[in-house]
Amino acid sequence: MNTIKQNISIFMMLVFLASCNKDFLDKQPHEFTDAVFWKTSEQAESALAGAYTPLQDEEALGGEEWCAIEAFGDNGYMQDPYGDYVAMAEFRATQNNEGDLSHNSYVSYYKTIKRSTDVLNYVPTITMDATQKKRILGEANFLKSFAYYELAIRYGGLPIYDSKNPAASLVRKTEAETWAEIEKGLKEATTQLAWDHEEGRPGLGAAWGMLAKVYGYEKKWADAKTAAETVITSGKHSLSTNYADVFSIEHAHDTEILFGLGARLDEYPITPVLMLPNNVWGGTHPEPMGEGWRLVSATNAFYAAYQAGDLRKAATVAKRGVDVITYNGSTDVLIAPNNKSEIVCVKYNAPYKDKYVGWAAGLNVPALRYADILLIATEAIMNLNGGGPGTTSGVAAAATHFNKVRQRAGLAAIAAPTFANLMYERRMELAFEGGDRHFDLVRWGLAASVYNSLPAEGSYKPARTYTQATNRLLPYPQKQIDNSNGSIKQNPGYLGPK
Partner 1 sequence: MDFKNRFSSHWRNLTQMLIIMKLTAVLLFLISFEGFSTETHAQNVSLNLKNVSLKKVFKEIQKQTGNNFLYAVELLEKAEKVNLVVQNASLQEVMNKSLQNTALTYSIAERTIVIKSIVSEREVEAQAPPIFNLVTGKVTDDQGQPLAGATILVKGAGKGTKTDANGSFSIDVAPNSTFVISYVGFENTTIEIRNQTTISVQLKPAIGVSDQVVVIGYGTQNKKDLTGSVSTVAAEKLNQGINQSVSHALQGQAAGVTVIQNSGEPGAGVEIRIRGAGSINDNSPLYVVDGIIGGIGSLNPSDIESMTVLKDAASAAIYGARGANGVVIVTTKKGKRNQKPTVSYNSSFGNQSVWKMPSSLDATQRNLIHKEALTNDMVPGTETIWNYYNNPANAVTRTDWFKEVFKTSTISNHNVSVQGGGEKSNYLFSLGYLDNNGVVLGTNFKRYNVRFNSQQEIFENLTLGENVSIVQSNSKTAEIRGGYDGVLSAALFNMRNTPVWADQANAIYGTPTGDFPNPVASLNARDNKSFGTELRGNVYLEYKLHNLVTFKSDFGYNANNGKNTGFQAIAVGGGRGLENKNSLNESRYNSSTWIWNNTASVDKRIGSHHISGLAGMSAESYLWEGLNGGTAYDFTNESRALRYYNNAGSFPNHVTSGADDNTLQSYFGRIGYGYADKYLFAANFRADGSSKFGPTNRWGYFPSVSGGWRISKENFFAGLSSVVSDFKLRGSWGQLGNDKIPNYQYYTTVSGVGSPTLNGNAYIAVAQDRLANANIKWEVTTQTDIGIDASFLNDQFTLTADYFNKLTTDILVQVPLVASLGVGSAPFRNAGDVSNKGFDLGLTYRNNKNAFKYSITANAASVTNKLNSFGIAGSKDIYAANYKNTDVGRIAEGEPLGHFYVYNAVGIFQTQAEVNAYTKSGNKIQPDAVAGDVKFEDRNGDGVISASDRFNAGNSFPTLTGSLSFNGEYKGFDVSMLWVGSQGNKIFNGLKLGGVFMQGTGYNNSPEILNRWTSTNHSTTVPRVTINDPNNNRQFSTLYLEDGSFARLKYLTLGYTFDKKVTGDKISKLRLYLTMQNLITLTKYTGYDPEVGAEGSFGNNLYGLDKGTYPISKAFIIGVNFNF
- Across the strands, what pairs with 298? 76, 343
CB of 416 to partner 1, least distance (A): 42
> Is the bond leading into 29 cis (omega within 30 degrees of zero)?
no
- The verdict on 357 binding partner 1 (CB under 8 A) reads yes
Select the residue interacting with partner 1 from 146, 149, 247, 356 (CB under 8 A).
Answer: 356
Q: Which stretch binds partner 1 (CB under 8 A): 204-212, 215-223, 393-401, 475-483?
A: 475-483
- The verdict on 297 binding partner 1 (CB under 8 A) reads no
Q: Which residues, in sequence order, are CB contacts of 438 under 8 Å at separation 6+?
A: 69, 70, 72, 73, 447
Q: Which stretch binds partner 1 (CB under 8 A): 203-211, 239-247, 405-413, 481-489?
A: 481-489
Select the residue interacting with partner 1 from 170, 194, 301, 446 (CB under 8 A).
Answer: 170
Q: Do 352 and 376 form a contact (C-beta atoms < 8 A)? A: no
- The pattern of x and - marking residues 300 through 339 that bind partner 1 according to CB under 8 A reads --------------------x----------------xxx
Select the residue interacting with partner 1 from 10, 222, 289, 463 (CB under 8 A).
Answer: 289
- The pattern of x and - marking residues 39 through 58 that bind partner 1 according to CB under 8 A reads ----x-xxx-xxxxx-xx--
- The verdict on 478 binding partner 1 (CB under 8 A) reads yes
H helices of 279-416, in order, are 300-304, 312-316, 370-384, 399-408
Select the residue interacting with partner 1 from 2, 19, 125, 127 (CB under 8 A).
Answer: 19
The residues in 392-451 that bind partner 1, with binding defined as CB under 8 A, are none
Comparison of 218 and 291: residue with beta carbon closer to partner 1: 291
- The verdict on 99 binding partner 1 (CB under 8 A) reads yes
- The verdict on 121 binding partner 1 (CB under 8 A) reads no
CB of 496 to partner 1, least distance (A): 8
Q: Do 335 and 221 form a contact (C-beta atoms < 8 A)? A: no
Question: Which has the closest alpha carbon to 133: 43, 57, 218?
Answer: 43
Select the residue interacting with partner 1 from 10, 468, 483, 498 (CB under 8 A).
Answer: 483
- Dist CA 243 CA 22 (whole Å): 69
The residues in 56-95 that bind partner 1, with binding defined as CB under 8 A, are 56, 80-81, 83-84, 87, 92, 94-95
- Dist CA 121 CA 192 (whole Å): 15
Q: Which stretch binds partner 1 (CB under 8 A): 209-217, 369-377, 411-419, 479-487?
A: 479-487
The residues in 258-287 that bind partner 1, with binding defined as CB under 8 A, are 261-268, 278-279
- Dist CA 298 CA 275 (whole Å): 10
- Dist CA 89 CA 96 (whole Å): 11
Select the residue interacting with partner 1 from 2, 3, 25, 386 (CB under 8 A).
Answer: 25
H helices of 53-203, in order, are 64-68, 83-89, 101-122, 130-155, 175-192
Residue 459 exposed, middle or buried by CB count within 10 Å (0-12, 13-18, 19+):
exposed
- Across the strands, what pairs with 274? none
H helices of 256-355, in order, are 271-275, 300-304, 312-316
CB of 13 to partner 1, least distance (A): 10
